[in-house]
C-alpha cells in the first residue's frame, strides 16, 4: 500500500457508512463486478450494452438540442439550421443525435436477431424477451416523432402518411386521426405534441431498459450453447472479463459511428428533408428511414380488400403484427433446445428469415411497381409464414444435435467436474 493507512481507513469508513444506509457499493459489486456471467459469451452478446450506451448518448445530445430547438412550424426548420451553423458544436450534437437513431436501431436489430438465433426468448426469459419487444415499439414511436421535428419535406409527409394509417380503424378512425393531429391536418399542434412526446418517450425507454435488465439479472444471461449455467465453473465474474470485452466492443462501435458522423453524416438521411416542409407539394417518393423499410413494405404489400375488410386496415394490422408477433416467439417455438447451433433445420430457416427481412427492406425503399409488388407480397407472406408455420413445425419435427454436458465442458474441452 502506497497510501497512508489513515487515508485508506477513512475511505473504507466512508464507503461502509454510505453502503450501510444506501447499498450502492454492494449493488455495483453485485451487478457489475462479481455478477456471474457465462464464460462462453461471444461478441454477439455485446450489442445489448452497446444499445444501452447509445440510448444514453441520444438522451445527452437530445437535451442540448432541445435547448436550441423551436417546435413551431414557422421556425423549426430554421432553428435546426441555426443549431447546425451558429450553435457551438451544434452540428456535432445534431449529427451525433441524427445518426444515433440509425445506430440504435442497427444495434437493437442485431441484438434481436441474436436472440432469435440463440433462442434467448425461451424459459425462463420470456418476460425479458417481451419487454424487449415493447422496447422496440417504444423506440419506433420515439424515432418516428423525432424524425418529424426538423420539419423538412420528408418529416411532414412521413407524419402525414403514418398518422393517416389510423384512419383505417373502422368507425372511429377519422376521429382518432384528428385527435392525433390536434386539427384537421398535420400542423403546429402536431409538431408541438410530437416534440413533447419525443422528450417523454426516451425516459419510457429508459424505464423499460431498467425492467429488461432486472429480468436479465434474475436468471442471468443465456449463452451461445443455450445450456443453463450449472456450477461455478461455467461462469466468470463480469469484471474484468466482460467489462473489458464490452469496452472493446464499444470502441469498435464508436469507430463506425463516428466515421459516419464526421465523414458521411447524411448517409442514412433523405436529401429532400433539407427542403422545408410544404403541405402543398407531395414529394415524388415518400420513404421512411431505413429502419422502418421492411415494415413499410409490409404495410404496402396488401393492395387488395379481403372480403369486407379494406386493404389499408389489413396493411396496418400486419405492420403492427410484424413486430407484435415476436411476443409469441417463446410459445411458437416448442423446441427444448435453445441455440440454433444444435438445431440444423432451424438454423437454415433463421438465415432465410433474415434474408426475407432484407428483401422486405429493399422493396420498402423502392416505389411499388412491377415485379416488386409481387415480391413484396411474397416476402410479407413468408415473414408471417416463418413465425406461424415454420417455427412451430420445425421445433416439433427437427431432431436436434446432442448438447454438451455443460458450458465448461464445451469450453475447456475437458470433462466437467460433475460429468466424470
Catalytic (active-site) positions: 217, 221, 245-246, 289
User: Taking the complex as a whole, how short is the minimal distance between the CB of residue 415 and other proteins, in angstroms?
Assistant: 18
> Candidates 121-129, 177-185, 296-304, 355-363 — which segment interacts with other proteins by CB under 8 A?
355-363
236: β partners:
37
Interaction between residue 381 and other proteins (CB under 8 A):
no
Of the candidates 384, 283, 312, 295, the residue with the CA atom closest to the CA atom of residue 105: 295
Given a contact cutoff of 8 angstroms between Cβ atoms, the answer to whether 337 and 400 are in contact is yes
DSSP assignment of 133-192 = HHHHHHHHHHHHHHHHTT-BHHHHHHHHHHHHGGGGSTTTHHHHHHHHHTSSSS-HHHHH
Residue from the set 25, 36, 44, 230 that interacts with other proteins by CB under 8 A = 44
Interaction between residue 275 and other proteins (CB under 8 A):
yes
Taking residues 95 to 114 in sequence order and writing x for each that binds other proteins by CB under 8 A, - otherwise, the string is x--------------x----
Residue 378: how many CB atoms within 10 A of its CB? 15
- Kindly tell me which of 166 and 295 has the beta carbon lying closer to other proteins: 295
CA of 193: how far to CAs of 60, 101, 292, 415, in Å? Answer: 21, 20, 22, 61
Interaction between residue 362 and other proteins (CB under 8 A):
yes
Q: Which of residues 54-83 bind other proteins (CB under 8 A)?
A: 78, 81
- Kindly tell me which of 156 and 181 has the beta carbon lying closer to other proteins: 156
Interaction between residue 255 and other proteins (CB under 8 A):
yes
Residue from the set 183, 207, 279, 367 that interacts with other proteins by CB under 8 A = 367
Q: Which of residues 276-295 bind other proteins (CB under 8 A)?
A: 285, 287, 290, 293
- Kindly tell me which of 109 and 199 has the beta carbon lying closer to other proteins: 109
Residues across the chain: 420
Which position has the grid cell 497510501? 3
Residues near 254 by Cβ (< 8 Å), separated by ≥ 6? none
Q: Which of residues 313-342 bind other proteins (CB under 8 A)?
A: none
Interaction between residue 266 and other proteins (CB under 8 A):
yes
Interaction between residue 254 and other proteins (CB under 8 A):
yes
Residues near 298 by Cβ (< 8 Å), separated by ≥ 6? 315, 318, 319, 322, 360, 376, 380, 383
CA 367 to chain CA centroid, Å, is 26
Give the C-alpha separation, 245 to 252, whole Å.
11
Residues contributing to the site for other proteins (CB under 8 A): 39, 42-44, 78, 81, 84-85, 91-92, 95, 110, 236, 240-241, 244-245, 247-248, 251-252, 254-255, 258-259, 261-263, 265-266, 271-272, 274-275, 285, 287, 290, 293, 354-355, 358, 361-362, 365-367
Amino acid at each position: 500500500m502506497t497510501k497512508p493507512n489513515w487515508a485508506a481507513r477513512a475511505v473504507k469508513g466512508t464507503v461502509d457508512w454510505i453502503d450501510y444506509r444506501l447499498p450502492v457499493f454492494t449493488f455495483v459489486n453485485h451487478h457489475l463486478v462479481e455478477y456471474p456471467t457465462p464464460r462462453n459469451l461471444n461478441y454477439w452478446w455485446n450489442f445489448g450494452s452497446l444499445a444501452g450506451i447509445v440510448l444514453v448518448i441520444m438522451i445527452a445530445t437530445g437535451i442540448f438540442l432541445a435547448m436550441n430547438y423551436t417546435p413551431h412550424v414557422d421556425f423549426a426548420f430554421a432553428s435546426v439550421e441555426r443549431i447546425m451553423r451558429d450553435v457551438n458544436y451544434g452540428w456535432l450534437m445534431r449529427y451525433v443525435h441524427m445518426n444515433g437513431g440509425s445506430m440504435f436501431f442497427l444495434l437493437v436489430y442485431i441484438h434481436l436477431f441474436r436472440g432469435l438465433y440463440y433462442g434467448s426468448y425461451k424459459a425462463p426469459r420470456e418476460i425479458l424477451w417481451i419487454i424487449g419487444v415493447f422496447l422496440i415499439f417504444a423506440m419506433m414511436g420515439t424515432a418516428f416523432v423525432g424524425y418529424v421535428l426538423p420539419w423538412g419535406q420528408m418529416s411532414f409527409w412521413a407524419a402525414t402518411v403514418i398518422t393517416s394509417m389510423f384512419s383505417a380503424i373502422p368507425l372511429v378512425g377519422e376521429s382518432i386521426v384528428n385527435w392525433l393531429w390536434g386539427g384537421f391536418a398535420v400542423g403546429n399542434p402536431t409538431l408541438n405534441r410530437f416534440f413533447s412526446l419525443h422528450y417523454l418517450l426516451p425516459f419510457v425507454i429508459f424505464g423499460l431498459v431498467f425492467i429488461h435488465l432486472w429480468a436479465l439479472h434474475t436468471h442471468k444471461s443465456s449463452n451461445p450453447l443455450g445450456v443453463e449455467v450449472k456450477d461455478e465453473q461455467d461462469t466468470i465474474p463480469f469484471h474484468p472479463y466482460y467489462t473489458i470485452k464490452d469496452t472493446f466492443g464499444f470502441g469498435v462501435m464508436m469507430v463506425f459511428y463516428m466515421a459516419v458522423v464526421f465523414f458521411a453524416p447524411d448517409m442514412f438521411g433523405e436529401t429532400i428533408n433539407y427542403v422545408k416542409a410544404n403541405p402543398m407539394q407531395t414529394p415524388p417518393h415518400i420513404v421512411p428511414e431505413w429502419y422502418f423499410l421492411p415494415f413499410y413494405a409490409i404495410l404496402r404489400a396488401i393492395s387488395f380488400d379481403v372480403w369486407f375488410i379494406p386493404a389499408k386496415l389489413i396493411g396496418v394490422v400486419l405492420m403492427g403484427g410484424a413486430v407484435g408477433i415476436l411476443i409469441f416467439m417463446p410459445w411458437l417455438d416448442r423446441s427444448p433446445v435453445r441455440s440454433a447451433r444444435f438445431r440444423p433445420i432451424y438454423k437454415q430457416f433463421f438465415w432465410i428469415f433474415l434474408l426475407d427481412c432484407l428483401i422486405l427492406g429493399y422493396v420498402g425503399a423502392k416505389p411499388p411497381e412491377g415485379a416488386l409488388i409481387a415480391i413484396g407480397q411474397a416476402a410479407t407472406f413468408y415473414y408471417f409464414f416463418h413465425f406461424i408455420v415454420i417455427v412451430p413445425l420445425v421445433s416439433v419435427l427437427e431432431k436436434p444435435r446432442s448438447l454438451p454436458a455443460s458450458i465448461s465442458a464445451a469450453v475447456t474441452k475437458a470433462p466437467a467436474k460433475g460429468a466424470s
